[in-house]
Amino acid sequence: MSQRFPVASVEDVPVGTGAEIVAGGRIIALFNVDGTFHAVDGVCAHAGGPVGKGELNGCIVTCPWHGWQYDVSTGRHCLTDNIAQQSFPAEVEDGMVYVELPDS
């Protein structure tokens, strides 16, 4: 089962930026890549850094703590397939971004 959460208005996360949000008791990193929103686990797999506060270049975010990079469209680490942030479906409806999270 999963639940859908309204997490931000479209204007809150301009193109080329990200945001750290809390939904369903989880920290989520939300990104706007050319108008398409992507959501991944906001807690970095390396040491818990704030992925949502990282710099976004195209679809690649760089964790601000130690520089691990992830593709926000898949959650995958850029250097290895063995590491990935969990990714979640995100969609826009009536100017609001919704993220679907599995029940915990």
For residues 20 and 27, the answer to whether their CB atoms sit within 8 Å is yes
Nearer to ligand FES, 5 or 54 (CB): 54
What DSSP assignment string belongs to 49-85? -BGGGSEEETTEEE-TTT--EEETTT-BBSS-TT-B-
| DSSP symbol at 93 | E
Nearer to ligand FES, 44 or 97 (CB): 44
Q: Does 66 bind ligand FES (CB under 6 A)?
A: yes
| Stretch binding ligand FES (CB under 6 A), from 17-25, 27-35, 41-49, 79-87 | 41-49
Nearer to ligand FES, 36 or 86 (CB): 86
For residues 70 and 50, the answer to whether their CB atoms sit within 8 Å is no
Q: Which of residues 70-99 bind ligand FES (CB under 6 A)?
A: none
Distance CA 98, CA 92 (A): 6
Nearer to ligand FES, 6 or 67 (CB): 67
| Shortest Å, Cβ 52 to ligand FES | 11
